[in-house]
Amino acid sequence: MHDLTDEEQQLYDMVCEFADTVVAPQAYEADRTHELSMDVVAQMGELGLFGLPFPEEVGGQGGDYMALCLAIEGLARVDQSVAITLEAGVGLGTMPIFRHGTDEQKAEYLPDLVAGRALGGFGLTEPEAGSDAGATRTTAVLDGDEWVVNGSKQFITNSGTPITRFVTVTAVTGERTRPDGSTSKELSTIVIPNGTPGFTVGPGYDKSGWRASDTHPLTFDDVRVPAGNLLGERGRGFANFLRALDEGRIAIAALATGAAQGCLDEAMAYAKTRNVFGVPIASHQYIAFTIAGMQARVHTARLAWHDAARRADAGLPFKKEAAIAKLVASDAAMLNARDATQIFGGMGFMNETTVARHYRDSKILEIGEGTNEVQLMVIARELGLAA
C-alpha cells in the first residue's frame, strides 16, 4: 500500500501471515462450534496486537490508531470474528480505561489488557436503547460508598470469555437540568468486574454471523460496586463514549475492508482454477468485470478508512470521515461477499468456504457501530443539513 510507512507495511504483512497460518486454519471449526479460540487470542497478545495504540509506559507498543486498524484489516481477510475480538477488546475494553480511568483503575487493569491476558467489554446497547442512548434504562444509585446497579444490556462483545475481567456499563445516575428548565438523563459509566454478585452473563447468542465472537446479554440485579468504580466524570459517560464510537467506525471500516479484500482474494483464486466448458471462468468477461468491480470497492474503502485514521491520529476532526469510511467499506464488504459467493456457485453456499462465512458475517457491518442510516445522518449533520 503506497501510503504506508515501512514499519506500517511490515506490521500489516506480519498480521496477514499470522492470519493465513494461524487464524484461517481454525476459522471454520470456530464458526461451526460458536467458540472463540483462546489460543488464538493468546497468540495475538504475544504479538502485541492488543497493545498497538498504547504507549510503552503502560506496556503498549507505542503505535497509533492506524497501526491497530491495519492489524484489524489483516485479520478480517480470513476471520471477522477474530478481527472484531481485537477491535472491541482495544476500542471498547481498554481505551476507556486508558483515557478516563483513575491511576488506581489503570494500575489494576491496563497491564493485562494491553498484553491480551485479559479482555473488557462495554455495555451500551439495551433492548430499548442503541443509537438512542437517551433511552437507557439501566440505573446506578449511589448508596453510601457503593453504586447499586440494576438493568440489562444486550449484544455485548467480549463479555463472557474465560479472560474477561470486567464490563463498563452506561447507566442513568440522575437527572440534569437544561438552561430552559427541562431535564435529561445523567449518564455515567461504571466498571463492573465479572463475578460480582447480581451480575449475570447470559448464554451466548445464536448469531447468523460472527459466530465465534463472544457476545452475550447481561443483567444487573442490585449489583453493588465501590463508588471508585465510576469511570471518568459523573454525567460524562456517553459524551466520553462518543469519541470511542467515532474511532470504532474507522476500525469497523478497516474490518469491512479486510472482509472485502478476503472476498476478492478468494474469488480471484477460484476463478483462475475453476474450469467450465474447458476454460477457467476467469476468462469470461462477466467474471473478469465482476472481479474488477470488487477490486474498485476494496481500493475505495481502504482510501476512506486510511484518510479517517490519519486524521484521527493527527488530532484533526474526523467524525464525518469516519462515518463515510464505515458507510463505504461496509457496503463494499456486503457487495463483495455477494459477488464472491456467486462466482463460487454452489461451493459458495458451503460454510467451510471463507466466502460463505463472509456472506453471513458482513451483514452486521451495516448495523454495528451505528447503522448505515445513522452514518448518513452523521454525514448530513456534518454538512450542516437538518437530519
Q: What is the pLDDT along the chain (387 residues), one digit of tens a residue?
A: 678 999 999 999 999 999 999 999 999 999 999 999 999 999 999 999 999 999 999 999 999 999 999 999 999 999 999 999 999 999 999 999 999 999 999 999 999 999 999 999 999 889 877 666 678 899 999 999 999 999 999 999 999 999 999 999 999 999 887 777 677 789 999 999 999 999 999 999 999 999 999 999 999 999 999 999 999 999 888 777 777 888 999 999 999 999 999 999 999 999 999 999 899 999 999 999 999 999 999 999 999 999 999 999 999 999 999 999 999 999 999 999 999 999 999 999 999 999 999 999 999 999 988 899 999 999 999 999 976
Q: 77 is written with which cell numbers?
A: 481477510
Strands, E assignment, 44-161? 119-123, 139-143, 146-157
Number of Cβ atoms within 10 Å of the Cβ of 7: 10
The reported pLDDT for the residue numbered 119 is 98
According to DSSP, residue 89 is labeled I
**Radius of gyration (C-alpha) of the chain in whole angstroms:** 21
Please tell me which residue in 35, 128, 369, 373 is annotated as part of the active site: 369
Q: What angle do CA 57, 239, 55 make, to 5 degrees?
A: 10
3-state SS, residue 148: strand
Domains of the chain and any CATH numbers: 6-118 (1.10.540.10), 120-235 (2.40.110.10), 239-382 (1.20.140.10)
Known catalytic residue at 369:
yes
Q: Which residues of 32-70 are buried (b: 16+ CB within 10 A; e: fewer)?
A: eebebbeebbeebbebbbbbbbbeeebbbbebbbbbbbb
Query: Contact, 293 vs 332, CB < 8 A?
Result: no
pLDDT of residue 183: 76
Which pLDDT score is estimated for 259? 98
